[in-house]
């Protein structure tokens, strides 16, 4: 079973949620062989709740995931923390929406939630906790308190960082770091549009029906990470298309996009 554990349902934080756009995304995910994705939309994206209102209007939710064009969509959220860094939380829809409601006071950059406080909040629910792109230059997690980091369930091997830093360079940073913490590594494309699907995937040896299934399989390391031979072209094409689409919408580039490196 092929699963991407870091994806987005909107072009950007400033974009409105488009159901047509999401239909296209899921159709392309299926064409890339994916059986499931974790929809880890940014917690401070524009009208976060509208995303789930849109999904509810179009797809069946069975209490664990949406079924969208043959792809299982597990609800999730990507949260900025005060110390700098992003944490992915994956769980049932009602838990993710409850977390988002509790994070409302922390959505501005000057008031992001502290890491320890987010972990404490997350542990009141049954969530999978992943440290997003630990060695990304703009939002590094690796310098943070080890006693907090080991409370995560896994670390993110991120397609954008594999492209920007080079596959071997990024893995040589992440793998010893994860081993020292005793944490598994899982793969996520971090895509905001369809071309990046399939750049990195997790191949689970058993069917995944719930987040608890995910947590157990990751803890027991009953999966393998696969990196596409076409990763560079998938990510580069995705980055370029995203910029063009944002320009057409009149959206300014983000700081990260202004700093984007186009060759690995």
* Percentage of the residues of the chain whose pLDDT score is greater than 70: 94
Q: What is the pLDDT of residue 249?
A: 67
In the chain, which ranges are continuous DSSP H helix?
19-31, 48-58, 93-102, 115-122, 146-149, 159-165, 167-181, 211-219, 231-249, 255-258
DSSP calls for 69-101: TTEEEEEEEEEEBTTS-EEEEE--HHHHHHHHH
pTM, 2 dp: 0.94
Q: What is the pLDDT of residue 262?
A: 42
3-class secondary structure, 191:
strand
For residues 255 and 218, what is the distance between their CA atoms, to the nearest angstrom?
A: 33
3-class secondary structure, 212:
helix
For residues 68 and 51, what is the distance between their CA atoms, to the nearest angstrom?
A: 14
Give pLDDT tens digits for 25-78.
999 999 999 999 999 999 999 999 999 999 999 999 999 999 999 999 999 999
CB 36 within 8 A of CB 70: no
For residues 255 and 225, what is the distance between their CA atoms, to the nearest angstrom?
A: 30
At a CB cut-off of 8 Å and minimum separation 6, what does 31 contact? none
Q: What is the pLDDT of residue 232?
A: 96
For residues 170 and 57, what is the distance between their CA atoms, to the nearest angstrom?
A: 40
For residues 197 and 14, what is the distance between their CA atoms, to the nearest angstrom?
A: 22
Q: What is the CA radius of gyration of the chain?
A: 17
Q: What is the pLDDT along the chain (264 residues), one digit of tens a residue?
A: 999 999 999 988 988 999 999 999 999 999 999 999 999 999 999 999 999 999 999 999 999 999 999 999 999 999 999 999 999 999 999 999 999 999 999 999 999 999 999 999 999 999 999 999 999 999 999 999 999 999 999 999 999 999 999 999 999 999 999 999 999 999 999 999 889 999 999 999 999 999 999 999 999 999 999 999 999 999 998 888 777 776 766 766 665 655 554 433
Q: What is the pLDDT of residue 242?
A: 75
For residues 166 and 161, what is the distance between their CA atoms, to the nearest angstrom?
A: 7
């Amino acid at each position: 079973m092929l699963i991407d554990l870091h994806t987005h349902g909107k072009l950007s934080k400033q974009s409105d949620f488009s159901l047509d756009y999401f239909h296209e995304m899921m159709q392309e995910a299926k064409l890339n062989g994916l059986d499931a994705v974790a929809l880890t939309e940014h917690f401070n994206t524009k009208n976060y709740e509208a995303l789930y209102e849109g999904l509810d209007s179009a797809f069946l939710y069975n209490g664990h995931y949406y079924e969208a064009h043959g792809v299982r969509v597990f609800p999730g959220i990507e949260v900025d923390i005060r110390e700098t860094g992003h944490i992915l939380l994956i769980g049932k829809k009602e838990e993710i929406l409850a977390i988002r409601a509790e994070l409302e006071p922390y959505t501005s950059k000057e008031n992001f939630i502290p890491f320890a406080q987010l972990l404490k909040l997350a542990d009141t629910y049954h969530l999978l906790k992943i440290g997003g792109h630990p060695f990304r230059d703009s939002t590094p997690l690796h310098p943070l308190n080890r006693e907090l980091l080991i409370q995560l369930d896994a670390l993110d091997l991120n397609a954008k960082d594999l492209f920007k830093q080079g596959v071997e360079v990024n893995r040589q940073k992440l793998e010893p770091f994860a081993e020292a913490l005793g944490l598994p590594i899982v793969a996520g494309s971090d895509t905001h549009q369809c071309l990046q699907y399939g750049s990195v995937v997790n191949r689970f040896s058993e069917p995944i029906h719930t987040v608890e299934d995910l947590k157990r399989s990751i803890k027991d390391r009953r999966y393998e990470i696969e990196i596409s031979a076409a990763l560079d072209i998938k990510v580069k094409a995705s980055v370029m298309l995203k910029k063009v689409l944002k320009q057409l919408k009149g959206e300014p580039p983000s700081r990260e996009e202004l700093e984007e490196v186009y060759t690995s």
